[in-house]
């Protein structure tokens, strides 16, 4: 077939299905496994990989200098995520593998344990069921660049690598303090030697893991360090999978939805879809839907929800929206409209609620003015007219009168809670800030993978 005469387009539904079920990430993981393991029977290997279905389980390495609190953070993470904790000590605590005897022989004779032997022992541990199905957290592993390369060569690729230093955690109970003993190997000389060894190996480890490594300044309480670590591991790693943003902006009148949509559209080429503008265009173009909408406009009544949803579905399913993505604002306005939109398969992958106080809304809307001669818009406080003549002829729109604005704000506040419950993974942003600051917050949630909140709500920025 001649593609120049009849271009072939992938149906938009295929892209939505692939994104929903993370097909690109699955294919990337399978191809990565093939290249690393080079199995004799690739199909059998791929079938086994698909049956594991463990692409989303945690795979974390925690590194740091001696006495930096790695064990504390690792144990807290294991408790929170339900994963297995793996460290040099846990690998040798019991004779669960024949390789432990070989490692202990090297230790007894005070010889350096070969990195290849450590790697084999770690790989064998990671193949046990708890690591496969629940994930793992490796504490103080790898300790050298050579071991890091051995693990990477065997397909042990962590999603997150944390490097930090933390403060002390002293027990408050007297009876615990009295029975404390000085552990072996923490004298000043021994600690200095271990710190020197760590800083010698650290640059090579950093080069091995590259972009998946997160550096945390942890000269602060353990709880604060853990909060940063936990926030980081919630964020899935970046992938090369194609991503079309489908953004929904919600908020009361005057919260800045239109401005943020315009900024997103200009910077990223996303299709800016304003529900109210679509309705006006449909009436002006005298389309079939426009003929149904016109009586509502003439009578001053809100357009029926089913008509609005049909119009939105038609616009958002065009090829440009599937390729470039879209940002929608002005709809839905309540819980029923949101559920109707979901039933029509209009599913945004980023939902933002812009929160702003009623006082700020009145300040933003009630001081807006229009020059009837030039058509320019002004704001008495933020953008006054340049001349006295222009200022004297400014007019205020009836919808911007204080009483009208208060009615709209009160109506939104009554339905806001129900609307927020429909979008459980929505992101809440303080819209009572400089527009560029709000845009930077929105942008950060769009360009980065969406966090896996594990039951915890996202905090307002």
The residue among 191, 209, 234 that closes a domain is: 234
What DSSP string describes 382-418?
A: TB--SSHHHHHT-B--GGGSHHHHHHHHHHHHHHHHH
Q: Show pLDDT as tens, one digit a residue, over the chain (461 residues).
A: 444 555 555 566 777 787 777 787 788 778 877 877 788 888 888 888 787 766 678 888 888 887 678 888 888 888 888 888 988 888 887 677 888 888 888 888 888 888 888 888 888 888 888 888 888 898 888 888 888 888 877 777 787 766 654 444 455 566 555 555 555 555 666 666 666 777 666 677 777 776 677 788 767 787 888 888 887 777 666 666 667 899 999 999 989 999 999 999 999 999 999 999 999 998 898 888 888 988 988 888 889 999 999 999 989 988 888 888 999 999 998 899 999 998 988 889 899 999 999 999 888 888 888 888 887 888 888 788 888 887 888 888 888 888 888 998 898 888 888 898 899 889 999 999 999 999 999 998 887 766 554 433 333 34
- Provide the domain count of the chain: 2
Which two structure tokens, joined as six digits, stand for 35?
């290249």
Q: Is the domain of 105 the same as that of 191?
A: yes
Q: Is the domain of 209 the same as that of 102?
A: yes
Q: Where are the beta strands (DSSP E) in 130-266?
A: 136-139, 160-163, 213-215, 246-250
Q: Is the domain of 98 the same as that of 140?
A: yes
Cα 282 to Cα 257, 277, 312, 325: the distances in Å are: 22, 9, 11, 21
Q: Is the domain of 136 the same as that of 193?
A: yes
Question: How far is the C-alpha of 19 from the C-alpha of 28, rounded, in Å?
Answer: 13
Q: Is the domain of 230 the same as that of 360?
A: no
Alpha helices in 317-387 (DSSP H): 319-324, 335-343, 358-365
Q: Is the domain of 167 the same as that of 88?
A: yes
Structural domain boundaries enclosing 306: 246-366+401-447
Assess if residue 375 is contained within a domain.
no
Assess if residue 389 is contained within a domain.
no
Q: Is the domain of 272 the same as that of 228?
A: no
Return the CATH number at 433. Answer: 3.40.50.300
User: Given this model, what pLDDT does residue 438 score?
Assistant: 94
Sign of CA dihedral 23, 26, 31, 32: positive
Assess if residue 26 is contained within a domain.
no
User: Given this model, what pLDDT does residue 171 score?
Assistant: 55
Assess if residue 411 is contained within a domain.
yes
Assess if residue 126 is contained within a domain.
yes
The residue among 184, 202, 234 that closes a domain is: 234
Cα 395 to Cα 81, 368, 398, 420: the distances in Å are: 59, 9, 9, 36
Assess if residue 48 is contained within a domain.
no
The residue among 201, 234, 267 that closes a domain is: 234
User: Given this model, what pLDDT does residue 457 score?
Assistant: 37
Q: Is the domain of 297 the same as that of 434?
A: yes
Assess if residue 456 is contained within a domain.
no
Q: Is the domain of 285 the same as that of 255?
A: yes
Q: Is the domain of 114 the same as that of 226?
A: yes
Assess if residue 452 is contained within a domain.
no
User: Given this model, what pLDDT does residue 105 score?
Assistant: 84
Q: What contacts 376, CB < 8 A, 6 or more positions away?
A: 370, 390
Which two structure tokens, joined as six digits, stand for 60?
């974390």
User: Given this model, what pLDDT does residue 172 score?
Assistant: 59
User: Given this model, what pLDDT does residue 456 score?
Assistant: 38
Q: Is the domain of 198 the same as that of 64?
A: yes
The β-bridge relationship of strands 246-250 and 350-355 is parallel
Q: Is the domain of 253 the same as that of 320?
A: yes
């Amino acid at each position: 077939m001649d593609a120049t005469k009849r271009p072939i387009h992938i149906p938009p539904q295929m892209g939505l299905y692939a994104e929903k079920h993370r097909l690109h990430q699955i294919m990337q993981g399978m191809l990565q496994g093939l290249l690393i393991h080079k199995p004799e029977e690739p199909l059998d290997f791929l079938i086994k990989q698909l049956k594991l279905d463990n692409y989303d389980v945690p795979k974390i390495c925690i590194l740091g200098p001696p006495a930096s609190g790695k064990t504390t953070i690792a144990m807290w993470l294991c408790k929170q995520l339900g994963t297995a904790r793996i460290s040099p000590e846990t690998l040798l605590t019991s004779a669960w593998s024949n390789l432990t005897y070989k490692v202990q022989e090297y230790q007894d004779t005070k010889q350096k344990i070969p990195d290849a032997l450590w790697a084999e022992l770690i790989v064998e541990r990671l193949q046990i069921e708890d690591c496969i199905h629940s994930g793992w957290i490796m504490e103080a592993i790898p300790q050298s660049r050579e071991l890091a390369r051995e693990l990477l060569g065997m397909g042990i690729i962590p999603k997150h690598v944390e490097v930090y230093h933390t403060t002390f955690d002293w027990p408050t109970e007297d009876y615990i303090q009295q029975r404390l003993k000085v552990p072996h190997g923490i004298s000043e000389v021994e600690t200095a030697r271990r710190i020197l060894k760590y800083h010698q190996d650290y640059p090579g480890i950093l080069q091995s893991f590259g972009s998946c490594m997160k550096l945390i300044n942890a000269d602060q309480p353990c709880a604060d360090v853990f909060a940063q670590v936990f926030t980081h591991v919630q964020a899935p790693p970046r992938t090369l999978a194609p991503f079309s943003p489908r953004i929904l902006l919600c908020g009361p009148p005057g919260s800045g939805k239109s401005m943020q949509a315009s900024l997103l559209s200009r910077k990223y080429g996303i299709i800016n879809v304003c529900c109210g503008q679509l309705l006006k265009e449909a009436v002006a173009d005298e389309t079939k839907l426009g003929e149904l909408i016109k009586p509502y406009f003439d009578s001053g009544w809100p357009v029926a929800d089913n008509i609005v949803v049909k119009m939105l579905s038609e616009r958002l399913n065009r090829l440009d929206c599937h390729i470039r993505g879209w940002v929608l604002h002005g709809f839905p306005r309540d819980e029923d409209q949101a559920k109707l939109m979901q039933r029509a398969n209009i599913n945004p992958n980023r939902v933002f609620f812009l929160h702003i106080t009623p006082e700020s809304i009145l300040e933003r809307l009630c001081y807006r003015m229009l020059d009837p001669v030039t058509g320019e818009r002004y704001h008495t406080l933020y953008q006054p007219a340049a001349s006295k003549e222009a200022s004297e002829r400014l007019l205020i729109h009836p919808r911007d009168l204080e009483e009208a604005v208060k009615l709209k704000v009160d109506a939104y506040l009554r339905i806001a809670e129900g609307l927020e419950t429909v979008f459980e993974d929505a992101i809440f942003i303080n819209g009572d800030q400089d527009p560029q600051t709000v845009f930077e917050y929105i942008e950060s949630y769009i360009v980065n993978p969406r966090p896996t909140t594990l039951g915890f709500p996202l905090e307002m920025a």
